[in-house]
Amino acid sequence: MASQELHDLVVVANRLPVDAKTLPDGATEWVTSPGGLVTAMESVMRNVDSAAWVGWAGSPGEAPEPFRADGMDLYPVSLDATDIEKYYEGFSNATLWPLYHDVIVDPAYHRTWWDTYVSANRRFAKAAAAVTAPGGTIWVHDYQLQLVPEMIRSERPDVRIGFFNHIPFPPVELFSQLPKRNQVLRGLLGADLVGFQRESDTLNFLASVRHLLGYQVDQRTVTVPGIGAVEPRDVIAGTFPISLDTQAVTELTEDPEIKERARQLRHDLGDPENVVLGVDRLDYTKGIRHRLKAWGELLNDGSIDPRETVLVQVATPSRERVDAYRQLRDEVELTVGRINGDHAPIGRPAISYLHRSFNRRDMTALYMAADVVLVTALRDGMNLVAKEYVASRPDLRGVLVLSEFAGAADELRAALLVNPHDIDELKSAALRALSMPEEEQEEMMTSLRRQVLDHDVQSWAKHFLDELEAVGEPAPPSAPI
Ligand code: GDG
């Protein structure tokens, strides 16, 4: 168990980077979930004397006591059934998520959701403020916790606060729809540095601050006016595109067992000439319906022969208690069933649809087995699948079809960029990818890999924390609140 010591660096995210595993004797073991953020944090945490992570442990009810896992001190925050319904599934995932992703589905607004969002944010803020050393640094992550920076600041004006938004920040015309929009902006402006994935997100945020709050914005610097004894302060907004632990991906691609698994996968699919892959959380932002529509049409008009070309679609279960997600699953599965019914050869699918999670090794084997990956997001903060595919192809083979609405499109300019709303364009991009000569694939992959391998997640985290370090001295610990 971790002592309640004070830490120089504290990460705050909705989820702790661990999953509970129940052992045969009924005891709980914590297994770290190997996400990109954990890897990034591990690399920066190694360089500070004492680092910690504050977040929800994943099950409703009372939070477990603080504990250590893989060298990190973890501080669980409790969320009860009402918090999960109103703060997490409600305001975070049925209000903010669709609004921040271009209202692909209608955002729902309920006043009680907001109240619970505020109280849950306060719990995270208090937990972080309590474990941060004087003059320490707190890094808050993502849209579920937008009020946390200001809440921490009011309690701990002595600490440096950074905020990073993993999802897009919408244009002011859309953001203005959000009830409590000004409270959200003020919450974010409690940070010293607010980071976004794309330049357009940063500019959208600054435009909202200027238009809705009327604060002075000079290039990247917002001046938050002082009130009473509190001095005006500067907040910097910046663009920090997230990336992968490319070293870890490279190691997986060199593993003979995974190479063999990739060969086996193709064999299991009937050794088709072409394997096309989609990997997404089953989320309406990912453009899975558009992809299936294009694929169904290509099969209908005979442009693709299902005996030669198979589409593998991994659709990882996600947010299954939120209405729009249940509906999406039904629609996707109906469409896949229809397409397979119409086109699959006997004993083999035209679309191999996998509604479950795979481990990292299997995911890498899938990327290595795929001739084409389709990323057709209608809006996506970054989209790590696009980068993972590129990092998994040291053989320089394969083609990435990438939506221009994914943040990754800003960096991966060499991919076949598409507007996924244009089904004809999607169809021609898929056909072009399938017929791309090897030299052209090599050229594309070389250029994409240069971009991905030169910018790993460790340098992303370091860059953010270095900028945060540089944004001026916070108030001394004794400063009045
Ligand atoms: C948010 C933003 C931004 C998927 N299925 C399985 C599996 N995955 C992994 C992928 C990838 C990750 O999950 C998904 O990341 P994405 O970036 O594609 O999308 P979101 O989950 O929406 O993430 C996004 C990201 O935050 C980071 O800032 O890029 O825009 O929306 O790594 O490989 N992993 C395993 N099994 C699966 O079945 N092991």
Condensed to tens digits (0 to 9), the pLDDT of residues 361-398 reads 999 999 999 999 999 999 999 999 999 999 999 999 99
Is the shortest distance between the CB of 201 and ligand 1 below 6 Å?
no
Q: Ligand 1 centroid to 36 CA: how many Å?
A: 9
Inter-CA distances, 246 with 46, 250, 264, 280, 446, Å: 18, 6, 24, 19, 15
Nearest residue CA, atom 5 of ligand 1? 316
Residue 366: name the closest of 477, 306, 280 by CA.
Answer: 280
Taking the centre of ligand 1 as the mean of its atom positions, its distance from the CA of residue 440, in whole angstroms, is 28
Q: Average pLDDT of 70-88?
A: 93
| ipTM of the prediction greater than 0.95, yes or no | yes
3-state secondary structure of 94: helix
For residues 21-33, give the mean pLDDT: 80
DSSP 132-170: EEEEEEEEEESGGGTTHHHHHHHH-TTSEEEEE-SS---
From atom 3 of ligand 1, which residue's Cα is the shortest distance away? 382
Rounded distance between C-alpha atoms, residue 149 and residue 155, angstroms:
10
The pLDDT of residue 475 is above 80: no
Please give the Cα distance from 382 to 54 (Å, whole number): 24
Residue 67 in contact with ligand 1 by CB distance below 6 A: no
Inform me whether the pLDDT recorded for 477 exceeds 70. no
CA of 287 to the centre of ligand 1 (A): 14
Residue nearest to atom 21 of ligand 1 (CA): 281
Q: Are 389 and 370 in contact (CB under 8 A)?
A: yes
320 φ, ψ (degrees, to nearest 5): -70, -10
For ligand 1, whether the C-beta of 380 sits within 6 Å is yes
The reported pLDDT for the residue numbered 2 is 47
Residue 31 main-chain phi, psi, to 5 deg: -115, 125
Q: What is the pLDDT of residues 139-180, one digit of tens each?
A: 999 999 999 999 999 999 999 999 999 999 999 999 999 999
As a whole number, mean pLDDT of residues 213-226 equals 96
Burial of 331 (0-12, 13-18, 19+ CB in 10 A): middle
d(CA 98, CA 63): 29
How many Cβ atoms sit within 10 Å of the Cβ of residue 99? 22
Q: Whose CA is nearest to atom 32 of ligand 1?
A: 384
Q: Which long-range contacts (CB under 8 A, 24 or more apart) does 43-49 make?
A: 43/457, 43/458, 43/461, 43/462, 44/9, 44/458, 44/461, 44/462, 44/465, 45/9, 45/71, 45/72, 48/8, 48/9, 49/8
Q: What is the pLDDT of residues 276-330, one digit of tens each?
A: 999 999 999 999 999 999 999 999 999 999 999 999 999 999 889 888 999 999 9
At 473 the pLDDT is 66
Q: 141 C-alpha to center of ligand 1: Å? A: 15
Q: Which two tokens stand for residue 320?
A: 């299954």
Question: What residue's CA is closest to ligand 1, atom 1?
Answer: 166
Q: What is the pTM assigned to this prediction?
A: 0.95
Please name the residue whose Cα sits nearest to atom 10 of ligand 1. 385
Residue ranges of the alpha helices (H) in 67-147?
Answer: 81-83, 97-100, 111-131
- Residue with the bigger pLDDT between 471 and 177: it is 177
